[in-house]
Structure 1
């Protein structure tokens, strides 16, 4: 599927145009964000979760018209992607598995394993 970049001249609303976006690459192409495929391949879930987090922190986006809202969406996507260009998932701690303070300190005695 070829993703069309967002254009204010389009007949579709921003929400309608975004409906078919399913991958990190789709979002990056739609908002015309240059990206390194290797960075996206390794960090796609983390980038999209960080993007979601940034969107949820942005106030009153629904009240904006399509063009200014698309500009904010693009800016937040660039920020989310950039977080992983010079960092990694473990450092950024976006997903719950990386947010644990106590790294797997569960002890199971040998006799319980052999049982």
Structure 2
């Protein structure tokens, strides 16, 4: 069952759309530089919270979405994309650990 809230969310496409829909004040420059990172972080937060988001209480659901989007936006006000490392590409140059069994070394 879809709600008006779900229908509204389907219409939103940009970080600015989401921030405006949830009436979150934002700095356009911060969003311009970090829009994809903010949306991905918001998505990650929603995924982490999915078990605590009530499907049958639209008011509570809106509040949780508002809080998580505010948190995602604030992450990039207080930090930057390189530090936050939202996307896999930022982890590619980190040291990698590989295990090679001793038996494979002497083959």
Question: Under TM normalisation by the shorter chain, which class is it?
Answer: 0.7 to 0.9
Q: TM-score, normalised by structure 2?
A: 0.80
Residue in 2 that maps onto 1:23:
14
Counterpart of 1:45 in structure 2 is 36
Match of 1:88 in 2: 80
Q: CA deviation at 1:61?
A: 1.9
Unaligned runs of 5+ in 1: 1-11, 104-115
Give runs of aligned pairs for residues 1-80 of structure 1, distance below 5 A. 13-58=4-49, 59-80=51-72
Size of the aligned set, in residue pairs, is 92
Displaced runs of 4+ in structure 1, greater than 3 A? Answer: none
Range that drifts further, 92-101 or 47-56: 92-101
**RMSD between superposed Cα atoms in Å:** 1.6
Contact 2:54 2:60 in 1 (8 A): no
- Structure number with higher helix proportion: 2
